[in-house]
Amino acid sequence: MGRIVVLAIVESIEDLYRAQRGEIPADQVRRIDIADALIDTGATGLSLPKRMIAQLGLLPLRTRQAITTTGIQSVATFGAVRLTIEGRDCVCDVMEIDDACPALIGQVPLELMDFLVDPGRRKLIGNPAHGGQQVMELL
C-alpha cells in the first residue's frame, strides 16, 4: 500500500470540556500537532507514544491485550482525546506505544471520520459512497 502520513491534531477531551464550562481558557487546552502521524489500517485504534500521552495529561483507564509485532502484549489504554484530521474529528481512547514508534491512526478512527485509504495516491479520501463528505451511519 505504501506509507501514508498525515497532520493530526490531538486534544485532551477533559481539557476541552473544562474550557467549555469556563474552568480554563481555551488556550490552555493541551494539544499536540503531529506532522507525521502514520495511517495504519492494520491497527484498530489510536496509538500514541508515551511522551505524547504525558504531554496531554491523559489518565489511564485500563490495560488491554493487544497483538503487536512482538506478540501479544498488555497495553495501557488512556482516554479520551479529540482527534482531528483534514477538518474531520472523532473522540477516541488512546493506546500507549513506545516513544520510538510514530503515532498510529488505525481503522476505527478512520471509519468514525469517514475516511478511506487511496493506496494508488497514498492518501486519505472522503468516503465516495457519501459523496466525499463525513457522514455517520446509524444503521
pLDDT, tens digit, 9 for 90 and up, residues 116-138: 999 889 999 999 999 999 998 88
* Residue 75 φ/ψ, nearest 5 degrees: -125, 130
Question: What is the residue extent of each domain of the chain?
Answer: 5-130
Q: 118 and 6 in contact (C-beta within 8 Å)? A: no
What's the pLDDT at 68? Answer: 80
Q: Does domain 5-130 have CATH number 3.40.50.1460?
A: no
Alpha helix (H) residue ranges in 1-139: 13-20, 50-56, 107-112
Report DSSP state, residue 125: E
pLDDT at residue number 27: 96
pLDDT tens-digit readout, 31-47 = 999 999 999 998 999 99
Which residues of the chain fall short of a pLDDT of 50?
Answer: none
Whether the predicted model's global pTM rises above the 0.75 cut: yes
- pLDDT number for residue 1: 54
- CA-CA distance, 12 to 53, in Å (whole number)? 9
Using alpha carbons only, give the angle 95, 109, 85 rounded to the nearest 5 degrees: 105
Which has the closest alpha carbon to 91: 15, 4, 6, 5? 15
With H, G, I as helix, E, B as strand and everything else as coil, classify residue 74: strand
pLDDT value for 13? 97
pLDDT of residue 86: 96
pLDDT at residue 14, rounded to an integer: 96
